Homo-oligomer: A and B are copies of this chain.
């Protein structure tokens, strides 16, 4: 299966990964969440080639994860800003970062500290159920096949 075919799959993870699941895209998004907006700044912070960056930013805009906004005419300058849809990816980034902080940090600890503004504590992210508010572990989730997909999913 090719990358391009992934978005055809009857699997939301595959489709999402077709948008954000490549080598650089999540790093671009992370910088976007840290406030980076300009091509040059993404490029110098990430060390990605301009070619690949241009391609990734274009794809994120095409999928409405980022939007391109003109912030100056003459000379025309544009910046990339997260859309609401893009901000919904924040939990993904935060959990990935937290996993790295826990399991891959050296003796200096996490490179960045995340603090929850409302309560002031170092942020420990938890996945909870929006209905009952309880913590959700992998074993607490039952998965059922949507009957409309019963034919293609085992």
Q: Which residues of A contact B (CB under 8 A)?
A: 1, 3, 7, 10-17, 19-23, 26-27, 30, 33-34, 45-48, 82, 85, 87-105, 108-119, 121, 123-134, 136-138, 140-146, 148-149, 153-154
- Cβ A90 vs Cβ B137 within 8 A: yes
Q: Separation in Å of the A24 CB from the closest CB of chain B? A: 9
Complex contacts, A111 vs chain B, CB 8 Å: 10-12, 145-146, 149, 153
Q: How far is the CA of A148 from the CA of B108 in the complex (A)?
A: 6
Q: How far is the CA of A138 from the CA of B85 in the complex (A)?
A: 12
Q: Return the chain B residue nearest A87 by Cβ.
A: B138
- Cβ B34 vs Cβ A14 within 8 A: no
